[in-house]
Amino acid sequence: MCKVRFFVFPLLVFVSFFSMADNLPNVYRAVGLLDTPAATKKAGGFFPKGMDGSRPNQPPPNINLWNHTNGAETGLARYDSGYVATTTLRGTALDWLGTHLGNNGYIYHIRPTPNFIDVNNTLLRYSPHPAEHEAASLGMIHWDQIVGWERVEYGRVHPFENNRDYNAQRYGGIVQGIPNVQPQLAGFPAGHVAWQREPWVAFANCTSTSSSAYALSASSSCSPKESSESYGEEFFYKQNIGRWLPAAISPLLLDN
């Protein structure tokens, strides 16, 4: 009787992880036909355009959220972006697939981690594409945090397929404050009017003698106290490694 209880308990714990993960919100990424599950697995996940995979656990060189969201003239991310775009709404991902990829490709369902930034609530009125409801991943999205995917063929959505490599034990318990609101990562250009206003003024130096954001005149000039790269590196190491990766491997990642 004791042996039966010994084996049943781990099974219940294992099942609970998957149940918990299934009840938590995902984010979604629309990609083209070349980003098959096999190709994405081989790559290790999704990388920002500004990262090549050689140093996946180091912060990307360009952490400017403003530049990322404004993107290139094609409507896609800049060549040097340090973020991977996802959306909090599956319908938005499907619409994007139709608009940009001819209704052919994949919708990946992803468990967000603390390195995901809530673009609309970070940039507020200055978010250039609020209808996209973007959650921007600072750095890569790992293959084992992808819950599964849907194949879309000429607008027809195929049944959802589970990712057998999804690590529910690692990602299933992350529930609070994701995506994050991080005004210090906004990356507005120096002199942009946003630096005069809350919440960004707390991270700016202004020529006005007043310490109140509401007292700053239209002629005041403000610029960030630190670069977006400096703020971003601090955030990356604090959130991406310190908070959610297993403690046993975090020091190894810091050295890679």
Task: Quote the pLDDT of residue 76.
Answer: 57
Segment 123-144 shows an average pLDDT of 93
Q: How many domains does the chain have?
A: 1
Residue 40, in any domain of the structure: yes
Contact 184, 231 (CB under 8 A): yes
Task: Quote the pLDDT of residue 17.
Answer: 37
Residue 241, in any domain of the structure: yes
Q: What is the pLDDT of residues 51-63, one digit of tens each?
A: 766 666 667 767 8
Residue 149 lies in domain: 18-181+226-255
CA distances (Å), 84 to each of 49, 117, 149, 198, 202, in order?
A: 8, 10, 17, 26, 27
- Token pair 């990602």 in the structure block, residue: 171
Helix, strand and coil content of the chain, in percent to the nearest 5, comes to: 40, 20, 45
Segment 158-173 shows an average pLDDT of 94
Residue 61, in any domain of the structure: yes
In three-state secondary structure terms, 143 is helix
Residue 102 maps to which CATH number?
3.90.210.10
Task: Quote the pLDDT of residue 162.
Answer: 98
Residue 209, in any domain of the structure: no
CB atoms within 10 A of CB 189: 12
Residue 108 backbone dihedrals phi, psi, to 5 degrees: -95, 135
Q: Is 161 a catalytic residue?
A: no
Residue 95, in any domain of the structure: yes
Where does the pLDDT of residue 201 fall: very low under 50, low under 70, confident under 90, or very high at 90 and above?
Answer: very high
Q: What is the pLDDT of residues 15-53, one digit of tens each?
A: 333 333 456 789 999 999 999 999 999 999 999 886 766
Contact 102, 122 (CB under 8 A): no
Q: What is the pLDDT of residues 70-106, one digit of tens each?
A: 864 545 555 578 899 999 999 999 999 999 999 999 9
Q: Per DSSP, what are the bridge partners of residue 162?
A: 148
| pTM for this model (two decimals) | 0.78
Work out the percent of the chain whose per-residue pLDDT is above 70.
70
Residue 147, in any domain of the structure: yes
Where does the pLDDT of residue 180 fall: very low under 50, low under 70, confident under 90, or very high at 90 and above?
Answer: confident
Q: Per DSSP, what are the bridge partners of residue 117?
A: 136, 180
DSSP alpha helix (H) spans, 111-167: 119-123
Residue 137, in any domain of the structure: yes
Contact 144, 130 (CB under 8 A): no
Residue 207, in any domain of the structure: no
First to last CA, the chain: 48
CA distances (Å), 203 to each of 137, 206, 214, in order?
A: 22, 10, 15
- Token pair 């001819």 in the structure block, residue: 102
Where does the pLDDT of residue 177 fall: very low under 50, low under 70, confident under 90, or very high at 90 and above?
Answer: low
List the catalytic residue out of 73, 134, 150, 233: 134
